[in-house]
Amino acid sequence: MRRMRIAGPLTLTALALFAAVELVAALPGSATGQKAARTVVASDTAAAVSPIPFWRKIDCQKRSRHRRPASGGDPHRTALGSPQGNVSYRRMTVFDGDDYFGERCELGWNDRRSPVTFYREGRRRITYVSIRLPKNYPLKTSRWQRVLQMKQAAPADNSSGAAVISLGAYAGRWLLFSSKPGYTFKDRVVWSRPARKGVWTRFALNVRYSKKPRKGRIRLFVDLNADGDFADRRERSRRIRTNTLKREIAGTARDGRRAGQSLPSHLRVGIYHDTPIRCRRPRGCSVDVDNVQVIRP
């Protein structure tokens, strides 16, 4: 993107443009090439054969539902702008009849002690992830499907129900969901864009975490045209004001959480969807994930 020189007072259009450039520059790997200091909290580029060192658990009917193909991975650079150093990626697959607390195959340990429980009250984190929907992903279905969750961690009386933040892919679209801080199975769409299969789509979720709607913030960046940046039209969401963590509800005291206390969330990636969706053998339904980084600004 070239610099613009504007003589005289800035118009509203020019101000909006400069604000957009400044916003994109706030994220590493932007088209501007500017990078502020960032700390990598954790990273998984699928360099390791096993996902366990990073994710700690494979929440699938069988561990073999996770595969690590050695080629064809995400071509995007990492969150800090460096090459990944490998071309592998992770593929999670479900088949009709799978039942691991629902029809799912996800990576992530649901526990507040988990190494992927990154998200806590008052923190700001930027989570990068690249997702590809392969040929056997049922994108056209109208039934719900999730490919990423920032889910309130157990043990807690409010650890079940709808994830506080989740990313879905169905009805031909990417959909970002948010749910209220109390116990609920309902959520709402706060952002949506067209999705397509067979290409790596890079996401960055810039979130300030809080159980309080007036303090929580979400800004989502997505490389929709696979050109390596978030600078194009409709690739940046508005700033979404909402709670970004759950709060504990009244219940047992054995979990060590008091009613009203903020609950941390853990990161999950993979496929989790409505059971009636057809995922026949031998192909099943799959989602590909690569190039995951959690950044502390």
Distance of alpha carbon 239 from alpha carbon 2, whole angstroms: 25
The reply to whether 273 falls in a domain is: yes
212's enclosing H/E stretch is none
Distance of alpha carbon 110 from alpha carbon 232, whole angstroms: 35
pTM exceeds 0.85 for this model: yes
CATH code of the domain containing 214: 2.60.120.200
Place of tokens 């592998």: 88
Nearest to 78 by CA among 45, 47, 125: 45
The reply to whether 183 falls in a domain is: yes
The reply to whether 197 falls in a domain is: yes
Q: In terms of residue numbers, what domain contains 83? A: 38-296
The reply to whether 8 falls in a domain is: no
Domain count, the chain: 1
Could you tell me how far CA 54 lies from the centroid of its own chain?
Answer: 16
The reply to whether 29 falls in a domain is: no
pLDDT (tens place) for every residue of the chain, 297 residues total: 333 332 333 333 333 333 333 344 445 444 333 345 689 999 999 999 999 999 999 999 999 999 999 999 999 999 999 999 999 999 999 999 999 999 999 999 999 999 999 999 999 999 999 999 999 999 999 999 999 999 999 999 999 999 999 999 999 999 999 999 999 999 999 999 999 999 999 999 999 999 999 999 999 999 999 999 999 989 999 999 999 999 999 988 778 889 999 999 999 999 999 999 999 999 999 999 999 999 999
Distance of alpha carbon 288 from alpha carbon 202, whole angstroms: 12
The reply to whether 65 falls in a domain is: yes
